[in-house]
C-alpha cells in the first residue's frame, strides 16, 4: 500500500476532498505550469500511450483523472468511437470541456464528473482504461484500481502513465534535487496554491513504481503487466490486461 500523502497539512479533511480542492484551485494555470515543470516531455509520453492503444483498436475508452482533458483528446487518434474523460475536479473539467468544444470533438469525447473509487459505470463497460498522472492521487489506491478492473471488459487494456523515481546515477540524484528544490520553487513563484506543487512533488517521491506497482496490479487481478520507464525513469508507462 502506498503512503497517503495529502496536499494540505493543517486540515482534517480526507485526501479525496483535499485533492479536489487543490485541482479546482490550480485548474486555470495547470496546463502551462505542467509544460514548464516537465520541460514539455509529458506531451511525448501521452503520445506513446496513444500509440499503445491504437495498436489494440479499442471502441470505448475511459480516461480516469482526465484533468484538463489532454490525454482524452489525444485518444481520438486511436479511432475509438467513444471516449469518456472522468475527473473529480469540476474546475479541471471546465478547462477540458472548453478544449473539447474548440476542437469540435463533442461527438467523440465526453467529460464527466466522477469518483475514480466509485465509478458510475457498469461492469465490463470499456475496452480500455487510461490514467495519466492520476493514480497517486487516489485516496485508496487498491480500491481505485479494483474499480478500474470492474469496468474494464475481459481482455481489455489498462494503460497508466505515472511519475516514478530514477534508480541509476546520476539521474537519481538529479531527480531528487529537482523534486525537492526546483519544482516547489516553480510552484511557489507561479502558482497561487503553493501547497499544490509541494504535494505533487512529495506524492511522486513516495508512490510505488516499477515492480512494486506491477505487484499491486497483480494483486487486484490484472495480468500481463508491463512497465516501460520513460526519460531516464522519471515516469513510467504501465500496461496490463483483465
Q: Per-residue confidence of the chain (242 residues) as pLDDT tens digits? A: 455 788 777 677 889 998 898 888 888 888 887 777 777 899 999 999 999 999 999 999 999 999 999 999 999 999 999 999 999 999 999 999 999 999 999 999 999 999 999 999 999 999 999 999 999 999 999 999 999 999 999 999 999 999 888 888 888 888 778 777 777 777 777 666 667 777 877 887 788 999 999 999 999 999 999 999 999 889 999 999 99
The Cα–Cα gap between 22 and 18 comes to: 6
Reply yes or no: is the peptide bond before residue 170 cis, omega within 30 of 0: yes
| Rounded Cα distance, 23 and 221, in Å | 30
CA distance 14 to 40: 32
Tell me, what's the pLDDT at 1?
46
* Helices and strands per DSSP (H, E), number in the chain: 10, 7
B/e letters for 95-117, b = 16+ CB within 10 Å, e = fewer, are bbbebbeeeebeebbebeebbbb
Q: Any residues with CB less than 8 A from the CB of 53 and at least 6 apart, and which? A: 61, 75, 78, 80, 128, 130, 157, 159
Structure confidence at residue 3 (pLDDT): 56
- The whole model's pTM is what? 0.91
Measured CA to CA in angstroms, residue 31 lies from 17, 118, 155 at distances of: 21, 26, 33
Cβ neighbours around 209 below 10 Å, total: 23
Query: Quick check: 207 and 136 in contact, CB under 8 A?
Result: yes
Q: What is the pLDDT of residue 155?
A: 97
Using an 8 Å Cβ cutoff, are 125 and 83 in contact?
no
Amino acid at each position: 500500500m502506498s503512503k497517503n500523502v495529502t496536499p494540505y497539512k493543517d486540515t482534517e479533511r480526507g485526501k479525496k476532498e483535499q485533492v479536489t480542492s487543490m485541482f479546482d484551485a490550480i485548474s486555470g494555470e495547470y496546463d502551462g505550469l505542467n509544460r514548464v515543470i516537465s520541460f514539455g516531455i509529458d506531451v511525448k509520453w501521452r503520445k506513446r500511450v496513444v500509440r499503445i492503444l491504437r495498436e489494440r483498436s479499442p471502441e470505448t475508452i475511459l480516461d480516469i483523472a482526465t484533468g484538463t482533458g489532454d490525454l482524452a483528446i489525444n485518444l481520438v487518434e486511436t479511432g475509438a468511437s467513444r471516449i469518456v474523460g472522468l475527473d473529480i475536479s469540476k474546475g479541471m473539467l471546465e478547462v477540458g470541456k472548453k478544449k473539447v468544444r474548440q476542437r469540435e470533438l463533442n461527438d467523440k469525447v465526453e467529460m464527466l464528473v466522477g469518483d475514480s473509487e466509485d465509478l458510475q459505470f457498469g461492469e465490463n463497460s470499456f475496452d480500455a482504461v487510461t490514467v495519466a498522472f492520476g493514480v497517486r492521487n487516489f485516496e485508496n489506491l487498491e480500491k481505485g484500481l479494483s474499480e478500474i478492473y470492474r469496468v474494464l471488459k475481459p481482455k481489455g487494456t489498462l494503460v497508466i502513465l505515472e511519475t516514478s523515481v530514477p534508480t541509476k546515477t546520476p539521474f537519481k540524484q538529479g531527480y531528487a534535487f529537482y523534486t525537492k528544490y526546483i519544482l516547489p520553487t516553480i510552484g511557489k513563484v507561479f502558482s497561487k496554491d503553493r501547497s499544490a506543487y509541494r504535494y505533487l512533488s512529495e506524492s511522486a517521491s513516495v508512490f510505488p513504481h516499477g515492480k512494486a506497482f506491477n505487484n499491486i496490479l497483480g494483486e487486484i487481478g490484472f495480468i500481463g503487466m508491463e512497465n516501460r520507464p520513460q526519460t531516464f525513469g522519471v515516469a513510467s508507462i504501465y500496461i496490463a490486461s483483465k
